[in-house]
Structure 1
């Protein structure tokens, strides 16, 4: 048997240990293959995506690949440390450092290559379903099947490269001068974990402040709060596992009535060490799970609410504007749209009127001023109720209530409208009495607006419009806002971003699940000895099972529970800042991820208990 055969047989001999790593790598390869298969699909490539969406897809691929690299490195390094004794014995019987490194390289390349092949096969088997689902998600009809040769090559090469690079890094973990340490294995006497009261207080304070800032965010403050809140929660999460959890368990131990009750003394003592020992792993899983939940949940909420957003932001089906000097251009474009609507037999309402762009005294940004007569025409077009009647009354047509001064004329807001009169692109819109309107100077604008009962039927008119007039450079005065076209672009944009978020989220959940499996595999070796001894002095398998259910349950579900809490506050900031309905989206994402986590937990628990039960016989 040559050395290559020895390394190959070594993989087969350690198949149980490699199972989670191989399984997770295969699923990750299938996800990477599916993602590249879709973005290289001939029908998808033809779509003229905005540059920022193309960059988003490229960044998604890079993030996924870098995380896969980190996942493989972490998994392999943990597994290699569990084989300290094996490598120590190989050094003693004469194996050189070069041979050990070669063995590690062959093992990693075998696993990576086979994982890539299995992932590609799985991706091809389910490709029809994936193409249909992704096509709908991206706003297309079901994407047809094709032979994704390019995706196959990229996936296989990517995973082989991961195996080669990781082998180079991991070969430095095991050194010849560590023989004595290797022979001792991972056994080390452990001091009882300690917690700092000051760090516990800091942890609670950071979480409280971070959560408070999240749920009190507004549209203006959200951008400035994202980074500091994220840093607070990240630091607090690490302190939660390293300090607060230890502090809490020690408080639990002081309750002697509870602590000394049956097997409680056993699982509480075990958790004290396990949570402290696995702080970095818990921290990593919690943060990645939070990122996955937040990215999927927030984008899904926007994707699900996209039509309502469009209806709120763009009241009319067509809205064309420019400065008053270009009135003839606006009329020409409006005439084209009107002729198109007539030719297709679509009933419509039409308004051609003026407005003013004014910079308030002491302000920087334009506000729009509309006089009462035009306001009445707009609300009639939108089938809204008029509420602007008192002689001394002024109205602002959005949710904000802000008095302003224009040309030394104070505009006092008495009423506010929950519905916009013109697209929100124009910012704050003030409705004033006709005589006040004439007194205010500003940039005189002109607009043409059309409204129809079902604007989604006008997509072909929007396309014909751009084919006829082309894409013009727009600014705060000159705009061509075609609602159906905007909805179509929004569907594609949110679809691409949601597709990317789901892909990244799945990669995170699959790989973090493998972290937990690797930890369980390392623990089961020591737990077999421990519970065998406890069984001999009277602890039954039923009691052992109860203890392990709690321990493994905490190991799997605690990081997820913390991640869900982080996710709840993170996505709540969107609700308060943008008035976005996120309850249904958040609930669906949490339930789906929870079901997946519980299934994985039940599978690992069953295998774990089976190994313990075998050791007791």
Structure 2
């Protein structure tokens, strides 16, 4: 038998151990290849939407590649640690250090090449399906299958380089310790896990503090709190697994009524060792899973944007005439004609807008002019949009800061006008948006009807709003008047305009693209997290066999064995997932500050979907693990 044949048979003999690692690597190659098919597809590189899709998928390629590098490196280093006994046997039979390094290098490259070929083969077979689903979510015409040579070269070259570098690096990790140490690698009694009370307290404080900051974050404070919260959560999670969790288990051991009950002694005793041994793996699974949950959940919650859009864009089409030129009448007539042609049932409203000059202001960046609307017109536009106005009518110099978006943040501000030294002050904002933010360059106020009549009439503009519940039908209207659904006010334009249907289509196309990209990345991360659990579990299989074989000799029944194994596997599988769920829940609390509407339903659906997938994976692994374990106990 030649050396390459020996390497090949060695991989085949360890196929159970390498299975999850191989499939996860192949899946990473598959997703990388699918993204490359999109990027290099000749029909997708047209238009703004397609360009954005290519940019998102290119960014996803980079994220995928970096994650794959770390995943493969960690996986291979874990496998090497679990094979010390095997290395000892080979060296006892005369294998040299260089031959051992060569064997490890060839094994890694063999698995890597197999994963590359498998991933690309599945990508070619399912490429048409991915292109159909992706083009539908991206919002472009269905793409025909096109096998790009550049996509093939990029995928093969990138992952060959990745596996080559890691295979080369792992030969350095192979250490030829004393033979006795290699033979006893899996049989040495484990040391009693030590725990630091101080670090346990640090972990609890960091996690509680990060949860508090996330739960109390506002739209204004979130950006400042994000980095500290992420840092505290990562450090707190690491110490939770290495210190706090072991400390909690030790407290459980001191509870005699719990510890001495039936098989709890075996479960709790081994739990402390498992938590300490697997602390880094638990930490990685938790962080990877949290990133996956948050990424998919964040994009899924964007469905709330459908309802939120109606709040921020109350009129289907908004038009502001900035002067009295005759072209405004022609533009409005064109809009009405297109609405009729599309069978859109609509209503219109026209209100005057005044701009007043400001002498001084307490604002940090005071505007030169201030947009003014009367309260009765504000109420009229709100009612036309279907909003209920609960604000009391303003009197005398009472004002409201005019919201142009639910993202807007205002501070109580005083304005002194040039006209007759009039001073205006607001300490609260309007309940509803009546003008989209694209139409308003300056700050705005809602004032009493009495005050509105007193203000100067030198700078008056006319707003015309077209209101309908069929916003989607306005997509693409008035293309000669707007660009991508909006025409910004400027010094050389006589009007400002927005078409909500076009803006909504563009926004949803972007979110669908991001959701498609994120779903695939989230799937890779989640499968990788499952792989960590799988090969860590099988790396400890020999140790578990010896442990349970000893226990069965003193009367452990099959039913009790099933119960103990199920508990331990459940802890192994669901502790990091449960911690990731808690992390994600507080992250979504912080995200809620960006929405006026609740995102709870979307978040629950995402987390429930991940939980169901994890349960299916758990029962599958439990069945295989118990079957392999009982074979050795017969």
Superposition TM-score, scaled by structure 1 size: 0.90
Tell me the residue number matched to 2:105: 105
Aligned pair in 2 of structure 1 residues 166, 331: CA closer, same or farther (>3 Å)? farther
Residue 138 of structure 1 corresponds to: 138
1:117-128, aligned counterparts within 5 Å?
Answer: 117-128=117-128
Tell whether the 8 Å contact from 1:388 to 1:394 is kept in structure 2 after alignment.
Answer: no
Q: How does 1:94-493 map to 2 (within 5 A)?
A: 94-140=94-140, 142-176=142-176, 179-302=179-302, 304-321=303-320, 324=322, 334=332, 336-341=334-339, 346=344, 347-351=346-350, 353-356=352-355, 361-363=361-363, 364=365, 366=367, 368-372=371-375, 374-375=377-378, 378-379=381-382, 381-384=384-387, 389=393, 391-392=395-396, 393-398=398-403, 403-407=412-416, 409-411=422-424, 417-425=430-438, 426=440, 429-437=444-452, 444=459, 446=461, 448-453=463-468, 454-466=470-482, 479-493=496-510
* Secondary structure of 1:422 counterpart: coil
Q: How does 1:566-581 map to 2 (within 5 A)?
A: 566-581=583-598
Within 2, Cα distance between the matches of 1:259 and 1:383? 62
Matched residue of 1:220: which SS? coil
CA distance in 1, matches of 2:202, 2:464: 56
Residue in 1 that maps onto 2:526: 509
Task: Tell me, in whole angstroms, the C-alpha distance in 1 between the residues paired with 2:315 and 2:524.
Answer: 41
* Separation in 2, partners of 1:43, 1:558: 46
Q: Which residue of 2 aligns with 1:530?
A: 547
CA distance in structure 2 between the aligned counterparts of 1:540 and 1:469, rounded to whole angstroms: 71
Could you tell me how far 1:137 is from its partner in structure 2?
Answer: 2.3
Residue 554 (structure 1) aligns with:
571
SS of the equivalent of 1:578 reads coil
Residues 266-325 of structure 1 show CA distances to partners (whole Å, capped at 9, x for unaligned) of: 1101001100111111111101111110111011101x1222222111222223458x46
> Hey, what's the Cα distance between the residues in 2 that align with 1:233 and 1:442?
57
Alignment correspondent of 2:91: 91
> Which position in structure 2 is the counterpart of 1:540?
557
Query: In the alignment, which of 611, 614, 625 is matched to residue 608 of structure 1?
Result: 625
**Cα contact 2:482–2:498 (8 A) shared by 1:** no
What whole-Å deviation, never above 9, does each CA across 1:76-105 have from its counterpart, x for those lacking one? 111122111222333343333332222222
Structure 2, unaligned stretches of length 5 or more?
Answer: none
Distance 2:267 2:230 in 1: 33
Where does the alignment leave 5 or more consecutive residues of structure 1 unmatched? none
Identify the structure with the greater helix proportion: 1
Indicate if the aligned counterparts of 1:351 and 1:377 stay in contact, CA closer than 8 A.
Answer: no
Counterpart-to-counterpart distance in 2, 1:475 and 1:557: 61
The alpha-carbon deviation at position 118 of structure 1 amounts to 1.9
Q: What TM-score does the superposition give when structure 2 sets the normalisation length? A: 0.88
In 2, Cα distance between the equivalents of 1:504 and 1:136? 18
Q: Distance in 2 between matches of 1:469 and 1:492?
A: 14
Q: 1:236 to 1:376 in 2, by over 3 A?
A: closer
Shift of 1:600: 1.4
Quote how far apart the aligned CAs of 1:157 are.
Answer: 3.0
Distance in 1 of aligned mates of 2:251 and 2:264: 14
State the secondary structure of the residue aligned to 2:476: helix
Distance 1:225 1:87, change over 3 A: same
Look up the SS of the partner of 2:48 in the other structure.
coil
Cα contact 2:362–2:415 (8 A) shared by 1: no
Please identify runs of 4+ aligned residues in structure 1 that moved more than 6 A.
325-332, 357-360, 438-443, 467-478
In the aligned structure 2, how far is the partner of 1:396 from the partner of 1:468?
29
Deviates more, 1:66-75 or 1:194-203: 194-203
Task: Give deviations 1:304-363, integer Å, cap 9, x for gaps.
Answer: 1222222111222223458x4697776675555345445656445153633437777110
Tell me how many residue pairs correspond in the alignment: 615
CA contact (8 A) 2:238 2:280 kept: yes
Q: In structure 2, how many angstroms separate the alpha carbons of the residues matched to 1:329 and 1:313?
A: 28
Q: Could you report, residue by residue, the CA deviation over 1:420-478 in whole angstroms, capped at 9, with x for unpaired residues? A: 11114548642113453466689957354331422321223243434799987969998
Taking only aligned residues, the RMSD between alpha carbons, in angstroms, comes to 3.2
Deviation of residue 564 (structure 1)?
0.5
Deviates more, 1:226-235 or 1:81-90: 81-90
Answer yes or no: is the 8 Å Cα contact 1:397–1:417 preserved in 2.
yes
